[in-house]
A = this chain, B = another copy of it.
């Protein structure tokens, strides 16, 4: 089983310390560990970055500083540059999810014959292979010189009239896609989240919530009056569970009317007795 480290994050000329801190926080969320910073505008260390890291302090403290992109990428095998702008540069453009597919491909080929073995033969292939996500400065983004050593552009799909994500949010999207894919395919040696217990029912349709509220109000008043909730303390959880079991059925508006009619018929006897 190959042991691959998570990809590196490289920030090129970041401006605000709080943005660097927010990047570290997002890295934590998605299991990214190693941060490299090229020529931070306000110098280093930056106390503001630590203050805003919110759990990512260790990432900030262990961040390595480089004078230029070339030195930051010196030991990196594959670098993806994130950009919102299409450029005149002849490079592949991939989405975040395509990026992750490529990475899985790279790492899972470890023990196999490679089609272009000459090109790829390297002591750093597979195990120990280093992959970097490169992010540009706030506002201006990466310059052409910055991306000279990068293998492809990652472009995050966004609404066409509002394509600029802030720095940490770009890291969130790329980190999220990476984590999602890494959990799915198990290429990385990570402590895995236990699978969610899923209760899949295909979505069909459901009445507007106001219909549901009407049903619940009616049923609750019946149950209260009839003393169904014998122990008052237990009512909140019991009632919550009951509403959930009905919601799961995704009743239509018509079905809710039927249900309410049924409840009314049963209840009328009770009213009449009083």
Contact = CB atoms under 8 A, between A and B. Distances in A.
A18 to B, nearest CB: 11
A234 B206 CA distance: 24
Counting chain B CB atoms within 10 Å of each CB, which of A25, A162, A193 scores highest? A162
Given A249-B246, A266-B266, A273-B269, A203 B198 contact: yes
A61 interface: no
A124 B206 contact: yes
A149 B245 CA distance: 11
A140 interface: no
- Chain A contact patch, size range: 35 or more
A172 interface: yes
Interface string A126-158: 000110000000000000110011110001111
A244 B209 CA distance: 21
Contacts of A163: 29
Interface in A162-199: 162-166, 168-169, 172-173, 176, 179-180, 183, 191, 193, 196-199
A227 B270 contact: no
A180 B157 contact: yes
Given A77-B207, A193-B157, A151 B106 contact: no
A42 interface: no
A186 to B, nearest CB: 13
Q: 4 tightest A-B contacts by CB? A: A269-B270, A249-B249, A73-B209, A266-B266
